[in-house]
Structure 1
Amino acid sequence: MNVLKFGGSSVANATTIENVIEIIKEQSREKALFVVVSAMGGITDLLLKAGEEASTNNENYKNTLAEIEKRHLDTVKALIPVINQSAIISKVKAQLNTLESLCEGVYLLSELSDKTAAVIASFGEMLSSYIITEAAKVKELDITFKDSREVIVKTDSTKIAIDYKETNTKILSFHKENTHRICLFPGFVAKTQDGEPTTLGRGGSDFTAAILAAAIDAEQLQIWTDVSGMYTANPKLVKQAKPVSHISYQEAMELSHFGAKVIYPPTIHPVLDKDIPIVIKNTFKPLDKGTAITRKVDQRQKPVTGITHIDNIAIISLEGSGMVGIPGFSKRLFEALFLDNINVILITQASSEHSICLAIESVDAEKAKSILDRTFEFEISKKKLNPVKIENEVAIVALVGDNMYHHQGLSGKMFSTLGKNNVNIRAIAQGASEKNISVVIEEKDIKKALNILHERFFEVKTKQLNLFITGVGNVGSKLLSQLEQQNKYLKEKLRLKIRVVGLSNSRKMAFDEKGIDLNSWEKFLVDGEPANAEQFFKTAQEMNLRNSIFVDNTANPDIAKIYKHYLAESMAVVTCNKIACADEYTNYEELQSLSRKFSASFLYETNVGAGLPIIDTLNNLIASGDNVHKIQAVLSGSLNFVFNNYKKGVTFHEIVKQAQQEGYTEPDPKIDLSGIDVARKILILARESGKIMELEDIENDSFLPQDCLDTTTVEDFLNSVKEHENHFGKILEDAEQKQCRLKYVAQYEDGNAKVGLQHIPVDHPFYNLEGSDNIVLFYTDRYPKQPLIVKGAGAGADVTASGIFADIIRIGKK
């Protein structure tokens, strides 16, 4: 014989009840059944609401009762043929009239006792079980109804304490007398030894089913709900969560205690001693395998079975020297809470005995503080203890698994994974059995914590990155195109899932936590809200997604100022914007320090050589113990393009315009031609080499006339370039007469740096540098005469975008 229990979502309306009847019908063909049902979904809350409203003389309780009546009568009319409805509706209305009389009494007395509240709450199960029984009879099932209050006996109306001797006797007596294939019981309800109506508390219908199963030695207890078993994490918060096919009783108790709502802890105890398997099944997908819960589980590889959490928690902290070495202190503490019926969920105490921390439900926090302040009033008055502290808006997250004690370093992996994503741990608890590691975190971090831990312990082959991208011009649009193009490759080869969840240009910004469709990002952005760099950061902060990366494809100084806020939130920063790293040294060092402190990558390879690994090469040299003595470089792909293409028959203005149109220059080409861009690049390399240097320390020998430098708009600058063609022609003529090429060279040597246009002779390594290529020569201890050379394309939207892409992948592979 099997016992089946159907929850509120399974019997929420006529359609779902028909599904339940079909499941019962199919299963009854093989075995006789005891079936337990909850109240229709949401009805218990409405019943309690009606009682509370009546107790406060709020006449809205009548509307609430009317809603309850409508739902039940509508269900009867949908399930029962008209010819059979009259008697059933009469009985339902009779129960509803009794409920109304109870609520009217509560209204007149302005009082709602625990006993009365229990009676009011019980109407949900009594109504649903009667309606479902009658609907099953219409389907010609061999079914009878049995009131659970006639067989389940509690020792006390205020506690979940079952008189198992009397209860089991009554159940077995009924079982022997029952001649029907199916017997249906209302869940949740019971009576005391004195015959008073009462309930079994939260999860009471599960408990009813477990008591019945244990009493009759059922072959199996099935819990039918709206999910396909117990999951590796809450599937509403972790989309990648998967059902667990088989877990142990111990794991189920740990998971259910820490918030897994599929099953409640008391359910497991009655069946555990009898070794009766529990199976969690999905009413809406009955063919799904579900989760089997037994004493032993076959050997499995993963150490962690599931990740669960409890929200709406508060931390109660008590500390002071008056606790140290004092026998009986903990007894006084826990006894005081016990006497006021406050449940302690988690406990942690420092080895010095100087402090103790308790996690309780947040609704009990103020009450607990008052009790403990009163209990330890003397110690607090003598300054031996500090007044009790409350920290609200926290939650508990727990790793659970029978196999955890076989694996070393799980705690370290858990803590480091949370730390890398700026999830602060407020308290830690671990049982000696090592089957549960629990941490207290801020409530706002629940979703992120669950996802990163699930990714760490269940999705090790795939890592999800969430990008917030600002700047979708030449470089930004190319980056989005590359991300879309490489999406499949990244998943299959690198096990990276990259989602763009935020986009911004100078006018609009838009967000989508599920990921923006990169085939239609332009339209998505057009429909966004007005752009604001500060608000963009705040939204990214509020979304609080794991593995977040801020990508800056602009040259905007205001955006560069916000990097520190992202890093302080443990969000990585990838940028081609040179302004931050070329800012005052104190700001540069602050960003480096924040990156280290909050384990947030700060990558800017494209600041110097677009897609070339110049900074990476330099960092590797220094990290391996080499010393840099001299750097010579052509670091501007745009200037190299300009001077490689400037020749007789073509004006300097025409070449600059071409470089601008082909995306080799910044939007304002004066930034490139003035040499400030190259100066910033050599400054960054000097700083990466370990030199403390400011931008003004770099000698800049500009080839532009002062008139060009004094312009304030792009149009004025280009017009000024056109007016000074003779000046540029003279520069070209001087180089040709010396049989040299013009290259804008940056040099760092002996702590000094300079940039400027130079005549490069035919035997120089820079002479044959073509197109928009860059080249860097590193002279070091290991490369004193023949330098280490990095050479390649150093400008262009595609190349720069690929460099940013490479930095993103570098973060993903960490």
Structure 2
Amino acid sequence: MSHTVEKIGGTSMSQYQAVRDNIVLHKRKPGEYYQRMLVVSAFGGITDGLLECKRTGAPGVYATFADAEDDSAWEQTLDNVSNRMAQINKEMFGLSPERALADSFLNDRIAGIRDCLHHLRQVCAFGQFQLEEQLLTIRELLAAMGEAHSAHNMVLYLRQSGVNAVLMDLTGWRTDDALPLDQVLEQALERFDLSTQLPVVTGYAHCKEGLMSRFDRGYSEMTFSRLAVLSGAREAIIHKEYHLSSADPRLAGEDQVIPIGRTNYDVTDQLSNLGMEAIHPQAAKGLRQQDIPLRIRNTFEPDHEGTLITTDYRSPSPCVEMVAGRRNLFAVELFDQDMVGRVSHYAECFTDELDRMKLNLVAKDMNANTLTYYVSGNRKKVRRLVSALQHRFDNADVNTHKVSLVSAVGSDMSIPGLLARSVGALNKAKVPVRAVHQSLRAVEMQFIVDDEYYQQAVVSLHDELVQTHAETVALAVA
């Protein structure tokens, strides 16, 4: 039997006992621990402390270093993160010998980072050297620290339970050359025997392409994906703290949602566009091309098979598999009488400005004289976008509205009357619909609603399109 490559997210990593008991040891005899590779994220909250908070934007070491005029601010932030990592070491290992090994590893890496940042400040005091040119390198150095810490700790932790875990450190610590990612991974794979060793792999990989510059915080999924492709994995698995379910249980209720069970990569692309990545689209691309199945499993329900994602899956009968959405979007509406017959020119200019402002396009619609783009980003960037569009098109009216997008998603939604049922459910729940998008491919149907109606829209569509279908199927089986 060939091996699996398995990625463990940061929230799951923080529950390290569950990772050991539910993922590594669960119902396995000592000789059955292997033929696997574990790609790990940093412990929960550590990357936020090293870079910046993903949710609130609160500055971490990177953001503080980039903005600070002196060393005291970023050094204090680095000390704070280091103390949190040392506390994790204490909680994992107590007074065992592994504690000293974990602390020594942590202290060595933190001291190296501190020296590097100090020296960089000194070099950039000369006018010929610009700090801005080095910031991406610093960002990668700091991000790598989180994964190096968690991977090293997990190796020590698993060895305590008799697992021959070994560290696959891809962070490039104190190396001179940056090789292409695939070459980095191929060289690393040559050093391990999967029949007798369990490699624990850092989610960050130092490489010539620069994963941070291309994927930012999604870099670990690229490492995971390429490792699965290059090693010829039987299956790629992502362990999360929740199932890939028919809706967000916080909105629709934990007792109302159901794990999807099966779906395809097309659906995961739609979810990614909604900011609910099962896997980054570029990471999914390699798995898809090599026909490697992807499984999403719940770390805390080890006996559940989770959701299996394949290239060619279609639901046995047309149905909606999931109701998902995205809040806090801006509808940017460009109306110009001169647009008639020239929509493509306006669309090209609109897209150019979006790229320049680094705003993410989620959906769009158009008619003869109006383009409406639904974008995610902060209000300041949206204001700049509006100003730029008004500057380019003197006679245009540009307006913005705060909205949410709610989607019905499925591998095959070619259901007669589905749109009418959906609109009827929203109307019954007293949710005003601002816009509707339905594509010919029948994998997604989108509804634009005012932001205040987001939860009502999710719940009403889930009740009508998912629960009703599930109850009908249950009755037919009975």
TM beyond 0.5:
yes
Contact 2:360 2:377 in 1 (8 A): no
2:314 and 2:277 map into 1 onto residues whose CA distance is: 25
2:469 and 2:407 map into 1 onto residues whose CA distance is: 22
Structure 2 residue 139 is matched with structure 1 residue 117: yes
Q: By how many angstroms is 1:260 displaced?
A: 2.6
**1:20-31, aligned counterparts within 5 Å?**
22-23=24-25, 26=28, 29=32, 31=34
Structure 2 residue 422 is matched with structure 1 residue 398: no
In the comparison of the two structures, how many residue pairs are matched? 441
**1:671-710, aligned counterparts within 5 Å?**
none
What's the counterpart of residue 748 of structure 1?
Answer: none
Structure 2 residue 107 is matched with structure 1 residue 93: yes
Q: Which has the larger radius of gyration?
A: 1
Indicate the SS of the match to 1:122: helix
1:555-576 per-position Cα deviation (integer Å, ceiling 9, x unaligned):
xxxxxxxxxxxxxxxxxxxxxx
Q: By how many angstroms is 1:116 displaced?
A: 2.1
What's the counterpart of residue 430 of structure 1?
Answer: 438
1:63 and 1:25 map into 2 onto residues whose CA distance is: 45
Contact 2:353 2:388 in 1 (8 A): no
Q: By how many angstroms is 1:396 displaced?
A: 1.2
Contact 1:316 1:369 in 2 (8 A): no
1:623-664 per-position Cα deviation (integer Å, ceiling 9, x unaligned):
xxxxxxxxxxxxxxxxxxxxxxxxxxxxxxxxxxxxxxxxxx
Q: By how many angstroms is 1:373 displaced?
A: 3.6
**1:157-236, aligned counterparts within 5 Å?**
166-180=180-194, 181-193=197-209, 200-227=215-242, 229-236=243-250
1:313-361 per-position Cα deviation (integer Å, ceiling 9, x unaligned):
11111011021112522222212322443321111112xx210101111
1:438 and 1:175 map into 2 onto residues whose CA distance is: 43
What's the counterpart of residue 424 of structure 2?
Answer: 416
What's the counterpart of residue 352 of structure 2?
Answer: 335
Contact 1:13 1:75 in 2 (8 A): no
Contact 2:12 2:241 in 1 (8 A): yes
Classify 1:202/1:266 alpha carbon distance in 2 versus 1 (closer, same or farther; 3 Å): farther
Classify 1:316/1:183 alpha carbon distance in 2 versus 1 (closer, same or farther; 3 Å): same
Q: By how many angstroms is 1:93 displaced?
A: 0.9
Contact 2:404 2:451 in 1 (8 A): yes
Q: Of the candidates 166, 169, 174, which is equivalent to residue 147 of structure 1?
A: 169
1:750-806 per-position Cα deviation (integer Å, ceiling 9, x unaligned):
xxxxxxxxxxxxxxxxxxxxxxxxxxxxxxxxxxxxxxxxxxxxxxxxxxxxxxxxx
Give 5+ residue unaligned stretches, structure 2: 52-59, 126-130, 472-478
Classify 1:14/1:175 alpha carbon distance in 2 versus 1 (closer, same or farther; 3 Å): closer
Q: By how many angstroms is 1:448 displaced?
A: 1.1
Code of the residue aligned with 1:288 in structure 2: it is H
Classify 1:13/1:408 alpha carbon distance in 2 versus 1 (closer, same or farther; 3 Å): closer
1:118 and 1:54 map into 2 onto residues whose CA distance is: 13
Indicate the SS of the match to 2:449: strand
Q: Of the candidates 264, 281, 284, which is equivalent to residue 297 of structure 2?
A: 281
Indicate the SS of the match to 2:248: coil
Indicate the SS of the match to 1:11: helix
Task: Using the aligned pairs only, state the percent identity.
Answer: 20
Structure 2 residue 399 is matched with structure 1 residue 389: yes
Indicate the SS of the match to 1:218: coil
Q: By how many angstroms is 1:91 displaced?
A: 1.6
Classify 1:264/1:38 alpha carbon distance in 2 versus 1 (closer, same or farther; 3 Å): same
1:170 and 1:211 map into 2 onto residues whose CA distance is: 11
Classify 1:226/1:422 alpha carbon distance in 2 versus 1 (closer, same or farther; 3 Å): same
2:66 and 2:172 map into 1 onto residues whose CA distance is: 29
What's the counterpart of residue 11 of structure 2?
Answer: 9
What's the counterpart of residue 74 of structure 1?
Answer: 87
Contact 2:211 2:219 in 1 (8 A): no
Structure 2 residue 324 is matched with structure 1 residue 317: no
Indicate the SS of the match to 1:243: coil
What's the counterpart of residue 50 of structure 1?
Answer: 61
2:462 and 2:211 map into 1 onto residues whose CA distance is: 47
Classify 1:146/1:294 alpha carbon distance in 2 versus 1 (closer, same or farther; 3 Å): same
Classify 1:103/1:176 alpha carbon distance in 2 versus 1 (closer, same or farther; 3 Å): closer
1:427-465 per-position Cα deviation (integer Å, ceiling 9, x unaligned):
3323331211112212221211111111101222899xx
1:192-223 per-position Cα deviation (integer Å, ceiling 9, x unaligned):
25x89867423332222111111112000010
Code of the residue aligned with 2:441 in structure 1: it is S
1:23 and 1:199 map into 2 onto residues whose CA distance is: 35
Contact 2:33 2:163 in 1 (8 A): no
- Higher RCO (CA-CA < 8 Å; seq separation 6+): 2
Contact 2:23 2:302 in 1 (8 A): no
Indicate the SS of the match to 1:415: helix
Classify 1:459/1:68 alpha carbon distance in 2 versus 1 (closer, same or farther; 3 Å): same
2:120 and 2:452 map into 1 onto residues whose CA distance is: 39
Classify 1:198/1:255 alpha carbon distance in 2 versus 1 (closer, same or farther; 3 Å): closer
TM-score by length of 1: 0.50
Classify 1:312/1:102 alpha carbon distance in 2 versus 1 (closer, same or farther; 3 Å): farther
2:321 and 2:470 map into 1 onto residues whose CA distance is: 18
Indicate the SS of the match to 2:324: strand
Code of the residue aligned with 2:263 in structure 1: it is I
Q: By how many angstroms is 1:300 displaced?
A: 3.0
**1:790-805, aligned counterparts within 5 Å?**
none
Contact 1:125 1:189 in 2 (8 A): no
Indicate the SS of the match to 1:460: helix
Indicate the SS of the match to 1:456: helix
Classify 1:219/1:169 alpha carbon distance in 2 versus 1 (closer, same or farther; 3 Å): same
Classify 1:461/1:187 alpha carbon distance in 2 versus 1 (closer, same or farther; 3 Å): closer
1:504-551 per-position Cα deviation (integer Å, ceiling 9, x unaligned):
xxxxxxxxxxxxxxxxxxxxxxxxxxxxxxxxxxxxxxxxxxxxxxxx
Contact 1:55 1:106 in 2 (8 A): no
Q: By how many angstroms is 1:102 displaced?
A: 5.3
2:155 and 2:110 map into 1 onto residues whose CA distance is: 18
Structure 2 residue 455 is matched with structure 1 residue 447: yes
Q: By how many angstroms is 1:188 displaced?
A: 3.5
Contact 1:398 1:439 in 2 (8 A): yes
1:78 and 1:29 map into 2 onto residues whose CA distance is: 28
Q: By how many angstroms is 1:252 displaced?
A: 2.1
TM-score by length of 2: 0.82
Q: Of the candidates 308, 333, 337, which is equivalent to residue 292 of structure 1?
A: 308
1:379 and 1:444 map into 2 onto residues whose CA distance is: 32
Q: By how many angstroms is 1:234 displaced?
A: 0.9
1:392-448 per-position Cα deviation (integer Å, ceiling 9, x unaligned):
3x221111112212x112122212211222222223323331211112212221211
1:475-526 per-position Cα deviation (integer Å, ceiling 9, x unaligned):
xxxxxxxxxxxxxxxxxxxxxxxxxxxxxxxxxxxxxxxxxxxxxxxxxxxx
What's the counterpart of residue 608 of structure 1?
Answer: none
1:175 and 1:269 map into 2 onto residues whose CA distance is: 21
Code of the residue aligned with 1:123 in structure 2: it is M
Contact 1:225 1:283 in 2 (8 A): yes
Contact 2:335 2:371 in 1 (8 A): yes
Code of the residue aligned with 1:391 in structure 2: it is H
Classify 1:50/1:302 alpha carbon distance in 2 versus 1 (closer, same or farther; 3 Å): same
Of 312-321 and 71-80, the range deviating more from structure 2: 71-80
1:329 and 1:234 map into 2 onto residues whose CA distance is: 37
What's the counterpart of residue 474 of structure 2?
Answer: none
Of 241-250 and 263-272, the range deviating more from structure 2: 263-272
What's the counterpart of residue 345 of structure 1?
Answer: 362
What's the counterpart of residue 543 of structure 1?
Answer: none
1:238 and 1:183 map into 2 onto residues whose CA distance is: 39
Contact 1:192 1:198 in 2 (8 A): no
Code of the residue aligned with 1:370 in structure 2: it is R
2:36 and 2:102 map into 1 onto residues whose CA distance is: 24
2:423 and 2:34 map into 1 onto residues whose CA distance is: 49
